[in-house]
Amino acid sequence: MAQVGGERQGDLDVDVLVVGYGPAGEVLAGAIARAGHRVAAVERWPAPYGLPRLVGFDGEAVRIVQSVADVDDALRDSVVFERAQWFGADGELNMTTDMSGTSSGFAALYSVYQPDIEAAIESRTATFPNATVLRGTGLVDLDQDDDGVTATVGAWRSSTEGVDPATHRRITAKYLVACDGARSTVRTRLEAELEDFGIDERWLNFDTIVKRPLPEKVAGIEFHMSPERPYVFMPIGTKRHRFEIRLLPHESEEEMVRPEVAWNWLADKFDLGPDDVEIIRDVVYPFPTRIAKDWRLGRIFLAGDAAHTMPPYTGMGACAAMRDATNLAWKLDLVLRGLAGDALLDTYQQEREQQYRLLVDVSVMLCEAVNLSDPEAAKARDAAMRSRPAPPQFFPGPKVGFLHHESGRAVIAPVGDASPQGVIRRNGVAGRFDDLLGHGCFSLVAQFDPAVALRRDQLGRLQALGIAIGSLAPSSPFHVEDVDGTYRTYFDAQDVAAFVARPDFLVFGQAADEGELRDLVDEMLTGLLDPAGGRDLAPALERSRKA
């Protein structure tokens, strides 16, 4: 990977230009580079941000990191979240959210140290010569036509001075993806409309390095919904801790970010001082909640915070951004390779927005509940929470888009949800399924032998597409040993014998027998065609096979 600062450089031509190199941009650039396409990422800040912003990371997001990084290195300072507790205005427990279990081959939820995650992704991307990261580089202008996008960029000076005009250069790309945050320059230049949910809350966040073991009363994740001033605390991996308190309407940001505010609060609330923790950051965060009305504008896409923002009460903001990136990456890959029609890209917003709006609804509901300042309303809230079971911490995947639809056009779970990932053994080597059989590709897992079940033309097209195939049948050339029983358990629970998953791990469809699998594969291959052109995939697949 070429890493270039903001100095004057020549023009650049790539397949995909990524603007913004945070979690969404890093995943997207890494996935596009892994697929063999030319990718460039521009980021105005000259070095990675060295402090954590995200904390909560679900198993599916960890699997995304696994696809573009050494996941064990990325998780080296993480801890598993088992539960979160919510306390009412009287200080008594309202509910406990169970976050135990597994997902996608990992724990259901982790507390992570964000710089480790980003460093692991960037380290993997650096191994690809077809990837270029331009740090200290800001966007000046952009234009697009039917064939691609032309962006003008240059050395970033500061938020007030902008880009140095003496360093302007052009980058041409077939597609551009804006991952440049909630104040997205790309979105602003496109004048993309936003749906605003009217959330207006501000919280003071102060992160700490733990110097000695903290008392048990602050060891976990707790939400305290006091009408006077709600607060939250949680671990950040193994060595750090985060505390957050709500700013009241009359309090200014300037007065609240003074160091004594955090120290006084820590001392009064938990008897913590400089011998216990070191404060490494205190910053005020607003919680705007907005969704762009259009995530695709021609050959330009919005992803992550550029497309949507929400209150942080589900802890899924960064996970959502990474889901955007991995959803879009595989679709761009197939379109760039000529294996899918442009219409496949239109399913990006359709799928991601449906899932994201559920997160927004839950986050807004929690935001309104946590921030109640009226004592009587808070008392009623507490009674309601204590009388109901805690909601599950599983957010279903999309039920629209490029997925198997039943005869009534419905998508029925687990279709659209994350597929399982177990430990398998193939040719004497044991490991996670994705690591052994491939990242960024479709996958097919069956109890029977797909080599026998599928027609020769189907099998050839799937293999040219780059599908990972695993069979539990010992006689199959695709045989894998189900070491930890993940796939046997899944097949028994679903009463099926095979499933096909997309490159973003979502289950495309399931089959009860060989005949249903043949129909499912035909449906999937047909769905990749350009509906308007109805072109045959065979020539493109043949080129892919030879490559």
CATH of the domain at 166: 3.50.50.60
- Could you tell me if residue 6 is inside a domain? yes
Q: What is the predicted pLDDT for the residue at 518?
A: 97
User: pLDDT digits over 310-346, tens only?
Assistant: 988 888 889 999 999 999 999 999 999 999 989 999 9
The answer on pLDDT for 546 being more than 60 is: no
User: pLDDT digits over 382-421, tens only?
Assistant: 999 999 887 766 678 999 999 999 987 899 999 999 999 9
With beta carbons less than 8 A apart as the criterion, state whether 199 and 324 touch: no
- Could you tell me if residue 321 is inside a domain? yes
- Could you tell me if residue 280 is inside a domain? yes
The number of distinct structural domains making up the chain is 3
Q: What is the predicted pLDDT for the residue at 408?
A: 74
**Looking at the structure, do residues 156 and 116 belong to the same domain, yes or no?**
yes
Q: Given 286, 304, 324, which residue is the final one in a domain?
A: 286
- Could you tell me if residue 86 is inside a domain? no
Question: In sequence order, which residues have a C-beta less than 8 Å from that of residue 260 and are 6 or more positions away?
Answer: none
Confidence of residue 439 (pLDDT cuts 50, 70, 90): very high
Across the range 528-541, mean pLDDT stands at: 50
User: pLDDT digits over 253-285, tens only?
Assistant: 999 999 999 999 999 999 999 999 999 999 999
**Looking at the structure, do residues 244 and 294 belong to the same domain, yes or no?**
no
Q: How far apart are CA 173 and CA 147, in angstroms?
A: 9
**Looking at the structure, do residues 126 and 22 belong to the same domain, yes or no?**
yes
- Could you tell me if residue 274 is inside a domain? yes
Q: What is the predicted pLDDT for the residue at 448?
A: 98
Q: The domain that contains 485 carries what CATH number?
A: 3.40.30
Across the range 521-546, mean pLDDT stands at: 61
- Could you tell me if residue 392 is inside a domain? no
- Could you tell me if residue 152 is inside a domain? yes
Class of residue 293 by CB neighbours under 10 A (exposed 0-12, middle 13-18, buried 19+) = exposed
**Looking at the structure, do residues 250 and 360 belong to the same domain, yes or no?**
no
Task: Kindly state the DSSP code that residue 44 receives in the 8-state scheme.
Answer: S
Q: Given 271, 286, 301, which residue is the final one in a domain?
A: 286
**Looking at the structure, do residues 39 and 149 belong to the same domain, yes or no?**
yes
**Looking at the structure, do residues 152 and 272 belong to the same domain, yes or no?**
no
- Could you tell me if residue 169 is inside a domain? yes
User: pLDDT digits over 213-263, tens only?
Assistant: 999 999 889 999 999 999 999 999 999 999 999 999 999 999 999 999 999
**Looking at the structure, do residues 224 and 347 belong to the same domain, yes or no?**
no
Residue written as tokens 């690809």?
128
Q: What is the predicted pLDDT for the residue at 200?
A: 85
Q: The domain that contains 252 carries what CATH number?
A: 3.30.9.10
Q: Give me the domain span that covers residue 428.
A: 423-546
- Taking the mean position of all CA atoms in its chain, how far away is CA 42? 19
**Looking at the structure, do residues 281 and 293 belong to the same domain, yes or no?**
no
- Least Cα distance to 526 among 267, 339, 319, 376 occurs for 339
Q: How far apart are CA 286 and CA 268, in angstroms?
A: 25
Residue 242, beta-bridge partner list: 207, 234
- 3-state SS, 416-448, equals CCECCCCEEEECCEEEEHHHHHCCCCCEEEECC
**Looking at the structure, do residues 186 and 67 belong to the same domain, yes or no?**
yes
**Looking at the structure, do residues 67 and 133 belong to the same domain, yes or no?**
yes
Query: Could you tell me whether strands 39-43 and 12-19 are parallel, antiparallel, or unpaired per DSSP bridges?
Result: parallel
**Looking at the structure, do residues 281 and 297 belong to the same domain, yes or no?**
no
User: pLDDT digits over 156-174, tens only?
Assistant: 998 888 899 999 999 999 9
What's this model's pTM, rounded to 2 decimal places?
0.93
User: pLDDT digits over 284-318, tens only?
Assistant: 999 889 999 999 999 999 999 999 999 888 888 89
**Looking at the structure, do residues 344 and 445 belong to the same domain, yes or no?**
no
Q: Given 286, 310, 325, which residue is the final one in a domain?
A: 286
Q: What is the predicted pLDDT for the residue at 543?
A: 52
Query: Per the structure block, which two tokens stand in for 102?
Result: 């597994």
